[in-house]
Structure 1
Amino acid sequence: MSSLRAKIQDVFNEPACEQNRGKDVKARKKGCSKPLTPGAAAGGCAFDGAKIVLQPITDVAHLIHAPLACEGNSWDNRGAASSGPTLWRTSFTTDLSELDVVMGQSERKLFKAIREIQEAYGPPAIFVYATCVTALIGDDIEAVCKRAAEKFGLPVVPVNAPGFVGSKNLGNKLAGEALLEHVIGTVEPDDAGRYDINILGEFNLSGEFWLVKPLLDRLGIRVRACIPGDARYLDIACAHRARAAMMVCSTALINLARKMEQRWDIPFFEGSFYGITDTSEALRQISQLLVKKGADPEILGRTEALIAEEEAIAWKKLAAYRPRLEGKRVLLNTGGVKSWSVVHALMEIGIEIVGTSVKKSTVEDKERIKQILKDDNHMFEQMAPRELYAMLSEHKADIMLSGGRTQFIALKAKTPWLDINQERQHPYAGYDGMVELVRQIDLAIHNPIWRQVLEPAPWDCQPAVRDELPSTKSETPTLHVVQEFAGTTADDFGEC
């Protein structure tokens, strides 16, 4: 537990974070995480954050050392995709019971589970996750993993991020620490080249990275490791021989990027693959970093030629949507890198941003938003569901882009909604992804269902009868009403 405490303090003291550097020593030790809500489900704890970062490593067996509910609540909560191995889709848990805890059998059960996975699946590595229960009872998963690695002859990586230590974001960083300590640098590649890069903080949601990788392939740039999207264990183990790195989500893995630069001299920058301009700028910066590290400067010219070609194709496709979407108002209720990168992407085609959430954004993210929107009046830290509903029901936005948690607010307000978070079904990265994003927004806004649901219901349409209906207090009005309506026509009724 003392080693875990030291790791947490080290993560809180992040020199690469502008906000962290501005704090005094006492405030820095508290970190950036808000206190957890007791009883909060998946999506808020450190264990969930660690699993989000590591589970997309597709050929690894992920073993959760916990009661069954921990794995049940966290499994498959992100839409990462794999181009090959499917082992990561199999749930492994030690399924601890009260008897295991009382009788002190949990460590023995963990060792047995590692052996069973090794014999049945033969993975290149096994990741073992500590949880609240196993950390509280004092299980030494690092010792068990070390013994199992020696016994079975494969890497067994302890991920010491029990849920109670902090938020999901802290768990992201603790997962990066586990990779640094036990995985990266453990294998020396025999094919290292001058055009090798790492992509950090890219999760390949809905296969987004597959829209970007062909662009890098055309430039002769090899992705040594994409961490964690569609990753392989061996690729990550060799990631220390890359020449440069791009950080996609700094809130998750900034500590990993900084320490890899310190240990192996791998320079990095933070960029985005959302939007035409940001995708082009990311390709430029990758090429420039590689040239600084010894690559042939001719790659700069090839990069500009590729950008010009791809931008022309993308703008030609987007031209058909501009008349239909120009001036439409979008409310963006997300966070992190999407809080500024998607804003920039949408404004490129004439869409107006009426508000964007910065709940999970860094100081740098907020500064980018200010530069893009020219002010901070459209930024909100957190908007209560009641306020979101009021804004949408008053038609201050034509569509809301958010995650699944707030979709029903938009639907209740009878406003178009599009999923932009990890559960989304369509990839939005790169040039083709930008076209797909605009296409989905167009489909959502112009869906004829919204015109229908905004019309009054048929039972709310009151007929306008020429003569006053008789009183309903007597027993004969029913007959009188029938006689009254017998000679009417359609012209005698009012409209809704």
Structure 2
Amino acid sequence: MSSLRAKIQDVFNEPACEQNRGKDAKARKKGCSKPLTPGAAAGGCAFDGAKIVLQPITDVAHLIHAPLACEGNSWDNRGAASSGPTLWRTSFTTDLTELDVVMGQGERKLFKAIREIKEAHGPPAIFVYPTCVTALIGDDIEAVCKRAAEKFGLPVVPVNAPGFVGSKNLGNKLAGEALLKHVIGTVEPDDAGPYDINILGEFNLSGEYWLVKPLLDRLGIRVRACIPGDARYFDIACAHRARAAMMVCSTALINLARKMEQRWDIPFFEGSFYGITDTSEALRQISQLLVKKGADPEILGRTEALIAEEEAIAWKKLAAYRPRLEGKRVLLNTGGVKSWSVVHALMEIGIEIVGTSVKKSTVEDKERIKQILKDDNHMFEQMAPRELYAMLSEHKADIMLSGGRTQFIALKAKTPWLDINQERQHPYAGYDGMVELVRQIDLAIHNPIWCQVREPAPWDCQPPVREELPRTKSEAANLHAVQEFASTMADDFGEC
């Protein structure tokens, strides 16, 4: 536990984070996020963050050493996609019980589980995740993993990020530390070249990485490792031989990028593949870093030619949507890199941003938003559901882009909504991704269902029923008899 505490403190003192450097020593010890509320760690604990970063490594077996409930749903993890292996979506857990805890059988059960996975699936590596229970009872995960690796002849990687140590963001960084200590640099590739790069913090949500990789292929740039989206264990083990790196989400793996630069001289920059301008700028910076590391300068010219060609195609496709979307108002309720990159992307086609959440954004992200929007009046740290509903029901936005947790607020306010977070069904990265994002916004706003649901209900707009007078003496007599009978029944049995 002392080594774990030292590792956590090292992450808190991350020197590559400008926000962290601006704190005093006391504030730095508190980390990047608010402390967890006891009993409310599910979905936001360090274990969850570590598993989010590592699980998209597709050919690895991910073993959770914990009671059954800690495993959750492996199949639907964040919508990350794989071009091949599906082992990463198979749930492996030691299913620790109360009897195992009392009798001290945790380590024995873990060793047995590793052996069963090796015999049944033969993966190139096994990642082992302790959680709160197994960390508290003192199971020596690292010793078991070391012994299993020697016994079975394959890497068994301990990921020391039990939930109680901190937030999901901290778990992201602890996962990066596990890769640095046990994976990266353990295999020497025989095909390293001057155009190899790493992409860090890209999760391949809905296949977004597959929209970017063809652009790099056309430039002759090889992605040595995309961590973690659609990654393979061997690729990550060889990642130390890349010449440059791009950080897609700095809050997740900034420590990994910095330490790879220190150990193996791999320069990195932070960029985004959301939007036409940002995609072009990312391609330029990749080429420039490669040239600084010894690549042929002619790649700069080829990059500009590719950018000009792809931008022309994208703007031509977007021209059809501009008259339909120009001036439309968007409320963006997300965070992180999307809080500024998507803002920039939408403003490029004339869409107005009425608000963007910065709950999970860094100081650098907030500064970018201020530069893009020219003020900070449209930034909000957190908006309560009641406030979101009021804003949407008063028609201050034409559509809300957010995650699934707030979709029903938009639907209740009878406002179009589009999923922009990890559960989304469409890829929005790169030039083609930007066109797809605009197309989905257009479909959502102009869906004819909204005209129907905003109309009054049929029972609220029926004309009043006019009581007709009896036209003959017999009709009047019959009506009088019915009224007398009803009055008699009411006297005998009371009103209903």
Q: TM-score, normalised by structure 2?
A: 0.94
Partner of 1:305: 305
How far is 1:468 from its partner? 11
How far is 1:488 from its partner? 31
Mapped contact 2:197–2:222 kept (Cα < 8 A) = yes
Kindly tell me: are residues 134 and 309 of structure 1, through their superposed partners in 2, closer, same or farther at Cα, counting changes over 3 Å?
A: same
Q: Counterparts of 2:57 and 2:108 in 1: how far apart (Å)?
A: 26
Mapped contact 1:79–1:423 kept (Cα < 8 A) = yes
- List alignment gaps of at least 5 residues for structure 1: none
Kindly tell me: are residues 395 and 117 of structure 1, through their superposed partners in 2, closer, same or farther at Cα, counting changes over 3 Å?
A: same
Q: Counterparts of 1:211 and 1:494 in 2: how far apart (Å)?
A: 74
Q: What whole-Å deviation, never above 9, does each CA across 1:379-436 have from its counterpart, x for those lacking one?
A: 0000011110110010100000000011011011110000000000000000000000
**Matches of residues 145-184 of structure 1 in structure 2 within 5 Å?**
145-184=145-184
Q: What whole-Å deviation, never above 9, does each CA across 1:179-218 have from its counterpart, x for those lacking one?
A: 0000000111110000000000000000000000000000
Kindly tell me: are residues 465 and 181 of structure 1, through their superposed partners in 2, closer, same or farther at Cα, counting changes over 3 Å?
A: same
Displacement over 3 Å in runs of 4+: 464-496
How far is 1:72 from its partner? 1.9
Give the secondary structure class of the aligned counterpart of 1:278. Answer: helix
Kindly tell me: are residues 107 and 280 of structure 1, through their superposed partners in 2, closer, same or farther at Cα, counting changes over 3 Å?
A: same
**Matches of residues 402-417 of structure 1 in structure 2 within 5 Å?**
402-417=402-417
Mapped contact 2:334–2:357 kept (Cα < 8 A) = yes
Of 265-274 and 25-34, deviating more is 25-34
Kindly tell me: are residues 283 and 461 of structure 1, through their superposed partners in 2, closer, same or farther at Cα, counting changes over 3 Å?
A: same
Kindly tell me: are residues 395 and 181 of structure 1, through their superposed partners in 2, closer, same or farther at Cα, counting changes over 3 Å?
A: same
Partner of 1:129: 129
Q: Counterparts of 1:98 and 1:168 in 2: how far apart (Å)?
A: 27
Mapped contact 1:196–1:223 kept (Cα < 8 A) = yes
Mapped contact 1:42–1:74 kept (Cα < 8 A) = no
Mapped contact 1:201–1:248 kept (Cα < 8 A) = yes
How far is 1:40 from its partner? 2.3
How far is 1:463 from its partner? 1.6
RMSD: 5.6
Mapped contact 1:470–1:481 kept (Cα < 8 A) = no
How far is 1:471 from its partner? 20
Q: Counterparts of 2:203 and 2:312 in 1: how far apart (Å)?
A: 28
Of 48-57 and 32-41, deviating more is 32-41
How far is 1:83 from its partner? 0.4
How far is 1:459 from its partner? 1.1
Kindly tell me: are residues 468 and 153 of structure 1, through their superposed partners in 2, closer, same or farther at Cα, counting changes over 3 Å?
A: same
Give the secondary structure class of the aligned counterpart of 1:20. Answer: helix
Kindly tell me: are residues 490 and 443 of structure 1, through their superposed partners in 2, closer, same or farther at Cα, counting changes over 3 Å?
A: farther
- The answer on 1:259 being equivalent to 2:263 is no
The alignment-based identity, stated in percent, is 96
Q: Counterparts of 1:123 and 1:449 in 2: how far apart (Å)?
A: 49
How far is 1:483 from its partner? 14
Partner of 2:398: 398
Mapped contact 1:466–1:492 kept (Cα < 8 A) = no
How far is 1:461 from its partner? 1.4
Mapped contact 1:317–1:435 kept (Cα < 8 A) = yes
What is the count of residue pairs matched by the alignment?
496
Partner of 1:215: 215
Give the secondary structure class of the aligned counterpart of 1:401. Answer: strand
Q: Counterparts of 1:332 and 1:14 in 2: how far apart (Å)?
A: 29
Give the secondary structure class of the aligned counterpart of 2:356. Answer: strand
How far is 1:42 from its partner? 3.6
Kindly tell me: are residues 216 and 466 of structure 1, through their superposed partners in 2, closer, same or farther at Cα, counting changes over 3 Å?
A: same
Mapped contact 2:74–2:91 kept (Cα < 8 A) = no
Kindly tell me: are residues 481 and 433 of structure 1, through their superposed partners in 2, closer, same or farther at Cα, counting changes over 3 Å?
A: farther
Q: Counterparts of 1:182 and 1:40 in 2: how far apart (Å)?
A: 31
Mapped contact 2:470–2:476 kept (Cα < 8 A) = no
Partner of 2:473: 473
Mapped contact 2:196–2:224 kept (Cα < 8 A) = yes
How far is 1:464 from its partner? 4.0
Give the secondary structure class of the aligned counterpart of 1:201. Answer: strand
Mapped contact 2:46–2:171 kept (Cα < 8 A) = yes
Kindly tell me: are residues 467 and 372 of structure 1, through their superposed partners in 2, closer, same or farther at Cα, counting changes over 3 Å?
A: same
Q: What whole-Å deviation, never above 9, does each CA across 1:147-181 have from its counterpart, x for those lacking one?
A: 00000000000000000111110000000000000
